[in-house]
Copies of this chain bind each other. A is one copy, B any other.
Amino acid sequence: MTKAIFYHAGCPVCVSAETDLLSLIPSNEVAIVHLGSEPQKIKEAAHAGVQSVPALVLANGNVLHINFGASIEDLK
């Protein structure tokens, strides 16, 4: 794997945070996979070690699981 892969499933609360994170990472450094739209890639993600989404699988195989600390305001 030559670049990072960002797996997500369109979580509505997290979408703006995810967009912000990806805005920090140059687009040629990361591929984006929407598991809701591409369910055939769930097996690949699980094999890479993804246990929850959103998650960022790094080029060296490390997996970062990202939790957006949703504010009460977002949940109202």
Binding site for B on A (CB under 8 A): 4, 16-17, 20-21, 24-26, 29-30, 49, 51, 56, 58-60, 62-69, 71
Give the CA-CA distance A61 to B67 in the complex, in Å.
15
What residues of chain B lie closer than 8 Å to A56, measured between beta carbons? Answer: 21
Q: Is the CB of B68 within 8 A of A67?
A: no
What residues of chain B lie closer than 8 Å to A71, measured between beta carbons? Answer: 49
Q: Is the CB of B17 within 8 A of A62?
A: yes
What residues of chain B lie closer than 8 Å to A25, measured between beta carbons? Answer: 24-25
Q: Is the CB of A4 within 8 A of B16?
A: no
Q: Is the CB of B69 within 8 A of A67?
A: no
Of chain B, the residue at the smallest CB distance from A30 is B24
